[in-house]
Structure 1
Amino acid sequence: MAQFRNKVFLPIVGVFLGAFSLMMLLSYAVAYWRVTTEVTSDAEQMINYVEHKLNYAMRNMYKLEQLHYEKCDDKGRAELEQFLLHHFNGGLFFVRSSQEQRYTYCSVVGEIVVAQKDRNFENLILLDEVNRQFPLAVLNYNWREQDSRSLFLGYIGKKNTSAIRITLDDSYAFFDPECSKCRHVEVRLTNDSLVYSMGQPLVDLVSTVRIESDRYPFYVASQINRNRILKMMTNSLVFSLPLSLLVSFLCAYLFKLLQRSERSLKQQLKRAIRQRELVAFYQPIMDAATGRIVGAEALVRWVRPNGEVIPPVRFIDELERTALINPLTIQMLEQLPEDLAPIFAADDEFRCSLNLVPEQVEQEDFCCHIERLATSGFPTHQLALEITERLPLRNLEVANQHLERLKALGVVIELDDAGTGYGGASYLQELNIDILKIDKLFVDTLVLSPNNTPVLDAYIQMAKTLKMEVIAEGVETHEQSLALLARGVHLHQGYYFSKPLPAEEFIQFWLAKQN
């Protein structure tokens, strides 16, 4: 009997132990993969962040060289202060003329002196090996009788030698303070000079994820230790056994339903674009001071064969997600001169605007298409393109190049949803914007909270300083219109004047305002 029990019991125990060991190994492997994927993604975010800092500093370097700075006196500091006011996102910068002491730099907050041990510049990296004008280095320095250490980007010009301190944030969303003992992140130059570190040096180290920048000589190294993997493994193991199959079946079923629904909407939109059911409705832009219509914004509407008009909130996300927005934008763009032909012919200053998603601003094909339209007689001087802050531009440099080509054709560039999205002041500084559109969110405060409109007032003042026109969107009441006029904003758009209208009705509305 004992032998029989052993023959039955021992294999069961063996299978159980084998299955348990395999489960533990798989759980550990999955936990390691999840941690590595997360750390890699975080390191890539850090790479993009530092690259953006260096890109911006590089552009400011050329502007620093144009300063009429001669020496660190009252006049020199005034020049630096004026530069800082116009480049407040550029970081702290230091300048010395070729006549001043080699290791002493001037700034609006005082002088800094390069530490004696770094004056041989052994850890310096030249970004431009040919002209040797852009040094990058981590330096120790004395500022206000305090010793500090920072990353500097320099520029050796004809008149001055300039340096911008590249400052990094003290904390990041991806770095959990409670996990400071299970994660260590470093930013280093390729000569291994330490730029910045987060977390404590780790023991029981398993691996290090190293991501290098393909634009600048630095990398991000993120260490992973065993404790973090075991913690991830334990957390997932508690729920994985009883729930994994059930959740997997439910997720697969829901995903299948969602995929079927999305496929259906996508096919409907493809058919609607092909049959030209997605058309432009036009909302007038008024000069509230004179009552004259100066332009319009083309807004997409889905007009079913039965006459039903579907608002964009029900389909615009699907258009953007599936890239169907690209052929639709081209279709609406090419239709504008036909829809508004009488107005374009009668008023050469009338301008119609069209919204773009960030991808289109960065697409070479879209820019080339408008250039081809211009050669065929398209009235590009009566076209305005709106860039929204709702979604981010991935490559500001490419976007700016395309916008400059479009502006050369007479196209006006507008910044839509100002103050509500990703770009903020950086779009105004780095892109050649002509018109700032104030979002309805801020216009509503004129009535809801008339004594608390600092953001609206700041954007209006910024636009005036940058010599931009301002259009206020979402104007729905007479009181809002008067309050905007009092602030010097006379171009208004909103339901107070008219809802978006089909092309024929808009032309009738325009003709009525002309009489």
Structure 2
Amino acid sequence: MDRTRIVVIAALLALAGVALPLATAVHLAQQRAVAAEQRYLQQLARKALDRAQQSFADARSVLREMQATPLTPCSDAHVRLMRALTLRNRNTDDIGFFNGDQLACTSAGAAEPGITRSKDDFVTADGIGVSLDLAPQASPGIVMVGMALGHYKLLIHPVRFADVLAEPEIDLAIALSDGRLLGSLHEPLPEGVRRLLQTGKTDQTLLYALERDEHLIAVAAEPRSRVLTPLRREMRWLLPLGALMAALIVAVVAWGLRRRLSPLGELKMAVARREFVVHYQPLIELATGRCIGAEALVRWRRPDGSMVRPDLFIPLAEDSGLVLPITDQVIAEVVREMRAALVSDRDLHIAINLSAQDIRSGRVLAVLAQALQGSGIAPQQIWLEATERGFMDADAARATINRARAAGHAVAIDDFGTGYSSLSYLQGFALDALKIDKSFIDTIGAETVTSSVTPHIIDMAQALGLQVVAEGVETQAQADYLRERGVQFAQGWLFAKALPAAEFLAFARSRQAKTQAGT
């Protein structure tokens, strides 16, 4: 064998010795990455299926309870029961009682005449009729799912069936076993995912997982390129390295592609690291235009500076109980950032939002008292706000409110009109202020049913001696209308968005200077 041939064979063997381990490592890394993503999607599909099953189970429970009630149909007590069940069950959006085929009343009260009962698309084994793609005449433009038993039919918003926290690139959907869509996380649903639900097949661009039970299908899907593109990019850097180094790095990449904490785990770490900051939504006195305070709004700022939207973490915090330490951090930040301003200006106040758990337990009052001790901040400069959900445990809420007001804090009901509300409900609590939800402010000047409610809310609050705060004011016409109606305070983008502490204090000083110059 001549020298040249030996060199060639040796070179080929050397290349094979490097190429084969590298190729095997890349192949295994790709398989591991896909498998890890597949497991993650399988977990999401399982959660979505569990969520849908819970929605159906809650609906069955509500229907059976209503069917068994001895109350006179459409009486005040009957309507109150439907309303209470709607509020108590987050999966139920409305309940209606039908007299024959005609809707007689709902959880909101007597129904308008002429609304007929829709036909069921199918009936479950336990006798529950299910209607898809309902378009309630009372809520035009909204598509709902209906479930019926006997004289009762309840409505469920389709989003309830796939209400699972997931990344934006991931599509979650719930369908019946025949492929008819019940609900999805994103709209519009990608065609590939829709085809997967209907036929069980899709193209190779999607990575997906399916979970089934007797009646339902849950699918979690994402673009396959979301996994393969970063993996291949890493591989280009690894190829020049030796076989041992290449195998090591590929293994690390395969194990590390999908290493991330669950949303709850991330939230726990954020609480431990105190990643929550406070922005301040200025509160304006409509009669004078001066800034008399602000609502403290919690924000989650990650270490990289990015912000997590409150609607993504607040529900998770409330469900997990982490909202309690978050409230404690908000209180501490308000005292730290606003202490000097509040001490120097006794007319200034800051409103702090309390969760339903805070209202129910009352533990936040001790936290607040300790934070204020020695700060120089007067108790009346700290307002406490809670949504109507926080007052549903009436006895506990009444005790907390009375203790808070005895300590000197004003108490306001927030987002009024979006939950369970009535005159007798408001009269049952010693409140100081009522905040009208933005959805009602948006209707000012519009010829809608909702717009006619707004002046009644204002009149009701004034009759009860409550101060009124309008939320989400965005136009001067809205501000003028509210001022003419005797509304004392307003907040919204017409005046300023929620601001960091330094910017809020500068804004407040500027408004004060303008007010003094005007006088």
Counterpart of 1:497 (choices 455, 477, 495) is: 495
In structure 2, the residue matched to 1:457 is 455
Q: Aligned pair 1:380/2:364, yes or no?
A: no
Equivalent residue letter for 1:296: A
In structure 2, the residue matched to 1:427 is 425
Corresponding residue SS for 1:446: coil
Corresponding residue SS for 1:294: strand
Following the alignment from structure 1 to structure 2, what is the Cα–Cα distance between the partners of residues 500 and 317?
Answer: 20
Corresponding residue SS for 1:354: strand
Report the Cα offset of residue 317 of structure 1.
1.9
Following the alignment from structure 2 to structure 1, what is the Cα–Cα distance between the partners of residues 299 and 288?
Answer: 30
Following the alignment from structure 1 to structure 2, what is the Cα–Cα distance between the partners of residues 487 and 401?
Answer: 33
Counterpart of 2:482 (choices 469, 481, 484) is: 484
Deviations 1:446-497 (A, max 9, x none): 2334997321100111111111111111011111111111111131100011
Q: Is the 8 A contact 2:335 2:372 kept in 1?
A: no
Structure 2 CA distance for partners of 1:408 and 1:461, relative to 1, 3 Å: same
Structure 2 CA distance for partners of 1:345 and 1:169, relative to 1, 3 Å: closer
In structure 2, the residue matched to 1:347 is 345
Q: Number of residue pairs matched?
A: 312
Following the alignment from structure 1 to structure 2, what is the Cα–Cα distance between the partners of residues 280 and 272?
Answer: 14
Deviations 1:219-275 (A, max 9, x none): xxxxxxxxxxxxxxxxx9999xxxxxx8548979869xxxx9996111222222222
Matches within 5 A, 1:348-427: 348-373=346-371, 377=375, 379-389=378-388, 391=389, 393-427=391-425
In structure 1, the residue matched to 2:507 is 509
Q: Is the 8 A contact 1:283 1:296 kept in 2?
A: yes
In structure 1, the residue matched to 2:284 is 286
In structure 1, the residue matched to 2:313 is 315
Deviations 1:21-59 (A, max 9, x none): xxxxxxxxxxxxxx9999877677899x99xx9xxxxxx
Corresponding residue SS for 2:346: coil
Q: Aligned pair 1:440/2:454, yes or no?
A: no
Structure 2 CA distance for partners of 1:465 and 1:311, relative to 1, 3 Å: same
Corresponding residue SS for 1:476: coil
Report the Cα offset of residue 385 of structure 1.
1.2
Q: Is the 8 A contact 2:335 2:371 kept in 1?
A: no
User: What is the alpha-carbon root mean square deviation over aligned residues?
Assistant: 4.5
Corresponding residue SS for 1:331: helix
Query: Could you list the runs of 5+ residues in structure 1 that have no partner in the other structure?
Result: 1-34, 54-148, 150-164, 179-235, 240-245
Equivalent residue letter for 1:437: K
Structure 2 CA distance for partners of 1:332 and 1:169, relative to 1, 3 Å: closer
Following the alignment from structure 1 to structure 2, what is the Cα–Cα distance between the partners of residues 283 and 304?
Answer: 21
Following the alignment from structure 1 to structure 2, what is the Cα–Cα distance between the partners of residues 466 and 399?
Answer: 19
Equivalent residue letter for 1:385: L
Deviations 1:88-114 (A, max 9, x none): xxxxxxxxxxxxxxxxxxxxxxxxxxx
Q: Is the 8 A contact 1:371 1:406 kept in 2?
A: no
Matches within 5 A, 1:183-332: 247-248=211-212, 264-332=262-330
Q: Is the 8 A contact 2:390 2:397 kept in 1?
A: no
Following the alignment from structure 2 to structure 1, what is the Cα–Cα distance between the partners of residues 490 and 440?
Answer: 13
Report the Cα offset of residue 371 of structure 1.
4.2
Following the alignment from structure 1 to structure 2, what is the Cα–Cα distance between the partners of residues 46 and 405?
Answer: 41
Out of 368-377 and 346-355, give the one that drifted further.
Answer: 368-377
Q: Bigger relative contact order, structure 1 or 2, given CA contacts below 8 A and separation 6+?
A: 2
Equivalent residue letter for 1:492: A
Q: Is the 8 A contact 1:286 1:294 kept in 2?
A: yes
Structure 2 CA distance for partners of 1:267 and 1:466, relative to 1, 3 Å: same
Structure 2 CA distance for partners of 1:371 and 1:459, relative to 1, 3 Å: same
Following the alignment from structure 2 to structure 1, what is the Cα–Cα distance between the partners of residues 506 and 270?
Answer: 27
Q: Is the 8 A contact 2:282 2:295 kept in 1?
A: yes
Deviations 1:179-224 (A, max 9, x none): xxxxxxxxxxxxxxxxxxxxxxxxxxxxxxxxxxxxxxxxxxxxxx
Equivalent residue letter for 1:267: G
Equivalent residue letter for 1:343: A
Matches within 5 A, 1:72-87: none
Equivalent residue letter for 1:381: Q
Equivalent residue letter for 2:439: L
Equivalent residue letter for 1:387: A
